[in-house]
């Protein structure tokens, strides 16, 4: 069976892979052909433990029959319906269900097709809101260094990753807070670091520099994931909220990764007890099965845009696939699974075990930091001189060959397993990673 699968491998030439070193990959491809529960099956028939919930999205684990059945039923019943000036009940039903668990009570829901679309949607809603309340001079958008907000032009403009920005023209009038990564003061921390709440004062400095009346919104990931698992220092998010409110600036939390139970509460908004005005989500919204995103808005933001003439379109924005019926069916079934199995809070029960298991890797070769919160870990390696990222990449390839899927971003190894993980599987992840780190030395 394995040999047969390989023999059936298609040519790899045509598919231009995203965020991948295509030539390197195609010379030694890593292909997955099936998945069930906590495991993938590789093309050569090996079981690979999923340490990353796919790409931070398969929170309920793989192969959930209930989601598959809901998708199949919806495809056979109403496969697609226009999303503009027409509706279908399942989109309203899904928005209502989401409203019941909405982060911080933000229960007005705009559907998108991905995290990137959610981010650009939230930025546009913020701009439209400011205009609607007579604050049309507020057009500036503030992001953060080392922020990742997807790959739309809005997202890369407020994002803080040079490689994603340097080749492209960006939105005018953005600025950035400093990031909160500070190994000199916060290393090997379980949960939130002690030092760095004062970095939120960067927003005050940008207000002093640009004038509050030019700033529409500030967007941050409550816990930055894709840029190396950066956990907010104690008090940081509270301070950001306070400064934003004081200056009439909307606060957007990008919860594409932290949404749907990753930290042990349904959303980071709940986990940290800080309520923004808009929340972006995707990924875990449908357990990664069908592409979909959602922006949660406060009633204040939503209602401010509902004040024009009744026959006028309130927001000139939307997608062919906004509220796609099949994605909504997947999302509703996903919520059923999350709620019945208690997955939106399960990471809290596993938290102590997670901290202990991951911090065992302290002292492993080249490890200069370990950061853990919820069911997320960032394990930072000292970069190899002249070849940043190469050490972590070698560990990633080695782990895959030995049966563990991890993710690397620069010199940080990120782990974020499905929320169904058992403790023994967490231990297995730590031990396999420890072995790979030892081999890399
Ligand atoms: N925002 C954050 C915080 C993310 O982590 C990601 C994806 N990793 C995105 C936005 C973009 O999502 P997508 O890839 O679905 O466009």
pLDDT digits (tens, 9 = 90+) for 174-199: 999 999 999 999 999 999 999 999 99
134: helix, coil or strand? Answer: coil
Residue 297 is part of a domain; what is its CATH number? 3.40.640.10
- Token pair, residue 27, equals 């010379």
* Residue 149 CB less than 6 A away from ligand 1: yes
Residues 299 and 415 in one domain: no
Residue 179 CA, ligand 1 centroid: distance in Å: 18
Do 265 and 349 share a domain, yes or no?
no
Q: Is residue 7 over pLDDT 90? A: no
DSSP conformation letters of 140-176:
EEEEETT----SSHHHHHH---HHHHTTS---SSEEE
CB 284 within 8 A of CB 57: yes
For residues 76-101, give the mean pLDDT.
Answer: 98
Tell me the three state secondary structure of residue 31. coil
Claim to verify: residue 249 and residue 141 sit in the same structural domain = yes
* Residues 20-49 pLDDT 10s: 999 999 999 999 999 999 999 999 999 999
- If asked whether residues 319 and 348 sit together in one domain, one would say no
C-beta of 256 in contact with ligand 1 (< 6 A): yes
The answer, yes or no, to whether ipTM is higher than 0.90 is: yes
Query: Is residue 226 in contact with ligand 1, taking CB distance under 6 Å?
Result: yes
Confidence label for 408 from pLDDT (cuts 50, 70 and 90): very high
Say whether both 247 and 376 belong to one domain.
no
pLDDT at 54: 98
Q: How many structural domains compose the chain?
A: 2
To test ligand 1's pocket by mutation, which of 19, 58, 119 has the most ligand atoms within 8 angstroms of CB? 119
Residue 2 has pLDDT above 80, yes or no: no
Question: Among 283, 328, 337, which residue's Cα sits nearest to residue 60?
Answer: 337
Single residue among 340, 369, 390 that ends a domain in this structure: 340
Whose alpha carbon is nearest atom 6 of ligand 1?
A: 150
Q: What is the CATH number of the domain that holds 375?
A: 3.90.1150.10
The pLDDT confidence band at residue 5, using thresholds 50, 70 and 90, is low
Mean pLDDT (whole number) for 94-115: 97
| Residue at which a domain ends, from 307, 340, 373 | 340
Q: Is 425 in the pocket of ligand 1 (CB under 6 A)?
A: no
pLDDT interval class at 1 (50, 70, 90) = very low
Q: Would the CB of 253 count as within 6 Å of ligand 1?
A: no
Average pLDDT, the chain: 97
DSSP state for residue 266 in the 8-state scheme: S
Does pLDDT of 171 surpass 90? yes
Domain co-membership, 94 together with 180: yes
- How does DSSP assign 277-337, residue by residue? SEEEE-GGGGTTSS--EEEEE-HHHHHHTT-S-TTS-S-S---TTTT-HHHHHHHHHHHHH
What is the reported pLDDT for 4?
A: 46
Among residues 285, 306, 340, the one where a domain terminates is: 340
Q: Is the dihedral of CA 159, 256, 232, 297 positive or negative?
A: positive
pLDDT attached to residue 8: 81
Structure tokens at 343: 């997955």
The yes-or-no verdict on residue 231 having pLDDT over 80 is yes
Cα angle: 280, vertex 165, 204; to 5 degrees = 60
Examine the domain organization and report whether 306 and 384 are in the same domain: no
Over residues 206-219, the pLDDT tens digits come to 999 999 999 999 99
Say yes or no to pLDDT of 76 above 90.
Answer: yes
Q: Are residues 330 and 400 in the same domain?
A: no
Whether the predicted pLDDT of 6 surpasses 80: no
The answer to whether residues 286 and 367 belong to one domain is no
245-299 per-position pLDDT tens digit: 999 999 999 999 999 999 999 999 999 999 999 999 999 999 999 999 999 999 9
Whether the CB of 257 sits within 6 Å of ligand 1 = yes
User: What is the distance in A from the centroid of ligand 1 to the CA of 64?
Assistant: 23
| Statement to judge: residues 41 and 82 lie in one domain | no
Average of pLDDT values for 151-170? 97
Query: Does one domain contain both 291 and 363?
Result: no
Provide the domain limits for residue 153: 67-340
Same domain, 319 and 367: no
At residue 3, the pLDDT reads 44
């Amino acid at each position: 069976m394995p040999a047969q699968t390989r023999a059936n491998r298609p040519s790899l030439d045509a598919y231009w892979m995203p965020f991948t070193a295509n030539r390197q990959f195609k010379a030694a491809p890593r292909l997955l052909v099936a998945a069930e529960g906590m495991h993938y099956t590789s093309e050569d028939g090996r079981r690979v433990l999923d340490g990353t919930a796919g790409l931070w999205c398969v929170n309920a684990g793989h192969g959930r029959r209930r989601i598959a059945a809901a998708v199949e039923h919806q495809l056979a019943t109403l496969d697609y319906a226009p999303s503009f000036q027409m509706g279908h009940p399942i989109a309203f039903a899904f928005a209502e269900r989401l409203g019941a668990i909405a982060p911080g009570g933000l229960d007005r829901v705009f559907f998108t097709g991905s995290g990137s679309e959610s981010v650009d949607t939230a930025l546009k809603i913020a701009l439209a809101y400011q205009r609607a309340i007579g604050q049309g001079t507020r057009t500036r958008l503030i992001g953060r260094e080392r922020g990742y907000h997807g790959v739309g032009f809005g997202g890369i403009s407020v994002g803080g990753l040079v490689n994603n920005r340097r080749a492209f023209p960006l939105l005018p009038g953005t600025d950035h807070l400093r990031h909160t990564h500070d190994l000199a003061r916060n290393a090997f921390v379980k949960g939130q670091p002690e030092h760095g709440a004062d970095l939120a004062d960067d927003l005050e400095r940008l207000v002093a520099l640009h004038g509050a009346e030019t700033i529409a919104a500030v967007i941050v990931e409550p816990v930055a994931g894709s840029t190396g698992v950066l956990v907010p220092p104690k008090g940081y998010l509270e301070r950001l909220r306070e400064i934003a409110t004081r200056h009439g600036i909307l606060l957007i939390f990008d919860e594409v990764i932290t949404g749907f139970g990753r930290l042990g509460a349904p959303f980071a908004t709940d986990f940290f007890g800080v309520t923004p005005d808009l929340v972006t989500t995707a990924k875990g919204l449908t357990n990664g099965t069908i592409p979909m995103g959602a922006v949660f808005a406060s009633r204040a933001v939503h209602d401010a845009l509902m004040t024009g003439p009744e026959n006028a379109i309130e927001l000139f924005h939307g997608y062919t696939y906004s509220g796609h019926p099949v994605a909504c069916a997947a999302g509703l079934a996903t919520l059923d699974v999350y709620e019945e199995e208690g997955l939106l809070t399960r990471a809290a029960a596993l938290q102590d075990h997670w901290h202990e298991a991951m911090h065992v890797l302290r002292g492993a070769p080249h490890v200069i930091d370990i950061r853990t919160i919820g069911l997320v870990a960032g394990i930072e390696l000292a970069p190899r001189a002249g070849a940043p990222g190469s050490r972590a990449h070698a560990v990633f390839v080695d782990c895959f060959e030995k049966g563990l899927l991890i993710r690397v971003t620069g010199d940080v190894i990120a782990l974020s397993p499905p929320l169904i993980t058992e403790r023994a599987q967490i231990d297995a992840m730590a031990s396999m990673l420890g072995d790979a780190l030892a081999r890399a030395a």
